[in-house]
Structure 1
């Protein structure tokens, strides 16, 4: 069975063109008029009059952002294809190498947050390939373009004002605030509002730097998960086998019950051994359909779904984290 997977690509020009420097004729005159109405609201985010004017002058209409928003690429990919293509063995090896190279910082983030280091590095790998693909769009301009366009004007204007607040607080220079075409920033791929809520100044240097400081990056990712309800004494879920016909089971969050109850209904570990004897709550999902992989997922799966509301994404992070941690890497 094929499942439609929407993949939002980071906005990086394959031709090496700086998205900020698009030709002036592509910028509607009405955009320049519109952005100049924002000065008072920009100043309210903590910028001086001069800084607010500089912020506004930096905003450029990016035609490519609208093209990407209108024509987000879609592909047909099964869940199994997704795991093999998006998380190949080479990515597992890269994740394990990244874990070892950054173990001290990852463990510090784990100790502070209760989020296991393997999940932090798995998220880092899934979002930006360990910091290699973070996006090269000028985030304020991308957000202003989307706010001006009007399809989700209120959402993107809120994010634009949040970006101004980040600049006002001195976390990043205006010209260096880079990210995806949709405004997701840095190694964490936080939207500006998420940055304000979850980003951490782990090294106490006065800046929350999710663009270049790994200590802040790992602590911020872990803080997002912790604040979203991460349970430090649980994992995300497990692949299982059904000993009864697929149609005999109820899937989805509405059918959460204990592992003991699932055991009684014939659900087993992937190797067909018994499930752990516990009242911990879980529910079944089948992102690949009847003939694909079946999972029992726990509360932490729901936390991963808050990061990205896709079963493919959440199971992918869990799958990568499990592969990073096995055999034991510490």
Structure 2
């Protein structure tokens, strides 16, 4: 299969690119190389004859048409998006332009290509989204997001992703474009850009800086190891039912505070301080506006229909992730100088 991956130099996209190439798929990586992208993320496969790179922006329709015509993909895996909630609070316009208008451009470019090719039955447009479109859950552990949960986005980021989801469904219903959709829980693992919670905690701990925890740290997230997510995404693009959406979760709920403490405990073992624990650096900061209380995925559909379950527990995944950051300072050190990294964002509301 030849797969066009948008956002393939980002965190999740690069995991998809690496795994797809390792499984023998031909991959075209389309990425605008914005602040959060890093071509080093795909360095392990960059020299493969199965890999090609296109430096382009999904807001540029002419570029998309050229790329579809040149590469003639069998499937699209659309991951390109602005994704940091705090940045969306400070600058929602970028999220509207990329996540909504960019997705519209991708849908129209894909539809034009699919039509020109004679509407091949095997073509797929796989739209990758987030559980944040569903809003916030109560504390009751029995209540989880399903594919039928009503949308209730609470931030500019989640609202823009919800809009993109609706566009994808509309293009399927109106034009017959063969689509599949997925909504995932919080990802973590190697190559995670150092503005998200887990890499921030690891790198701040090593630097002797405060470990910022929003509010009381009681917010709950379901944590999904990024390589498990990539595996699920490839399964859905190959075997998912047309027009169907699949929720992908790690089945690993933790409060933010418990997660930070777990990271500190791992660091205490792997790289102990001269005195005390890294947990001594935990600092509670003012919560961000509209902070959802809890996310949790019910992955029953993908488990029952496609046979997928996560293979990595949060304990194992955190161990791997901490070790990766300890071993790969040459990757993360230059990223700390990029715009906004290390600053408190999302406080303008």
TM (normalized to structure 1)? 0.29
Larger strand percent: 2
Structure having the larger proportion of residues in helix: 1
TM-score, normalization: structure 2?
0.28
Whichever of the two has the greater Rg, that structure is: 1
